[in-house]
């Protein structure tokens, strides 16, 4: 897998990441969602540089112009619910993409440190020969991404696979690299060094889903 850490070069992305992490600023859920959306736009722009392009002719009011335009059949899949703002940011740039949605969440067992990934909902178009963009803001252990990828397999084999994430732990990136196809590309805006005993990213930013949409009850 090829990992593209966008934060390796300084840009305005630093501001969006810092505000997502800031314990005071992140309390503004609207701003939190918007920052994730803006990061999705940046990741989408960088990702687009690796796509296929085809020269096309455009008719203007005064003549004709030619331009290389994206020639990929894109399917954008986000993991509910935290993936929605990231999905929106990517969709702002790939507005003709087909869309897929999947729920994948941690179901905690008797010990707080142990959990399993549960997939309960999936809506997906045909993936055969297409470019799959799988969006998940946080790559902690990497198990949610793997569970999602396994659930998508009956819908066909994509020609290209791109993963889009805001923050990931190195352990999760190693896990994903081991279990996804070799030609997969991961686009990420920050890589953190560790996970805590409950599998949360440190320093991270907390629970992205709760910060974006409010706290949840889990049975």
What digits encode the pLDDT tens for the residues 139-187? Answer: 999 988 999 999 999 999 999 999 999 999 999 999 999 999 999 999 9
pLDDT band (50, 70, 90) for residue 109: low
**Average confidence score pLDDT of the chain:** 93
pLDDT band (50, 70, 90) for residue 13: very high
Out of 6-20, 54-68, 90-104, 115-129, which region has the weakest mean confidence (pLDDT)?
A: 115-129
The proportion of the chain whose per-residue pLDDT surpasses 70, expressed as a percent, equals 93
pLDDT value for 113:
57
Q: Strand ranges (DSSP E) for the chain?
A: 2-5, 53-60, 63-70, 74-80, 98-108, 115-123, 131-135, 138-139, 160-169, 185-192, 194-195, 201-202
* Residue 214 clears pLDDT 60, i.e. is over it: yes
pLDDT value for 124:
96
Among 87, 33, 78, 37, which Cα is nearest to 212's?
33
Measured CA to CA, the distance from residue 84 to residue 184 in angstroms comes to 22
Do the strands 63-70 and 194-195 form a parallel or antiparallel pair, or are they unpaired?
A: unpaired
Measured CA to CA, the distance from residue 48 to residue 68 in angstroms comes to 12
Measured CA to CA, the distance from residue 53 to residue 186 in angstroms comes to 20
* Residue 72 clears pLDDT 90, i.e. is over it: yes
CA 193 to chain centre: 19
pLDDT value for 105:
65
* Residue 82 clears pLDDT 70, i.e. is over it: yes
* Residue 110 clears pLDDT 70, i.e. is over it: no
Among 96, 109, 152, 93, which Cα is nearest to 127's?
152
Measured CA to CA, the distance from residue 133 to residue 95 in angstroms comes to 13
């Amino acid at each position: 897998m090829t990992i593209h850490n966008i934060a390796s070069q300084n840009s305005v992305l630093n501001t969006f990441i810092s505000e997502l992490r800031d314990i005071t600023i992140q309390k503004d859920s609207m701003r939190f969602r918007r920052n994730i959306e803006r990061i999705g736009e940046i990741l989408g722009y960088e990702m687009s540089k690796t796509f296929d392009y085809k020269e096309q002719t455009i008719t203007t009011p005064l003549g004709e112009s030619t331009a290389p335009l994206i020639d990929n059949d894109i399917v954008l899949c986000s993991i509910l619910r935290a993936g929605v703002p990231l999905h929106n940011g990517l969709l702002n740039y790939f507005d003709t993409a087909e869309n897929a949605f999947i729920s994948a969440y941690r179901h905690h067992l008797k010990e707080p440190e142990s959990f399993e990934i549960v997939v309960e909902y999936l809506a997906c178009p045909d993936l055969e020969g297409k470019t799959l963009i799988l969006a998940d803001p946080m790559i902690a252990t990497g198990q949610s991404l793997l569970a999602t990828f396994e659930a998508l397999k009956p819908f066909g084999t994509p020609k290209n696979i791109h993963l889009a994430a805001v923050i990931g732990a190195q352990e999760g990136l190693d896990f994903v690299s081991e279990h996804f196809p070799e030609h997969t590309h991961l686009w990420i805006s920050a890589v953190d060094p560790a996970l805590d005993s409950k599998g949360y990213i440190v320093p991270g930013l907390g629970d992205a889903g709760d910060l974006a949409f409010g706290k949840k009850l889990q049975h």
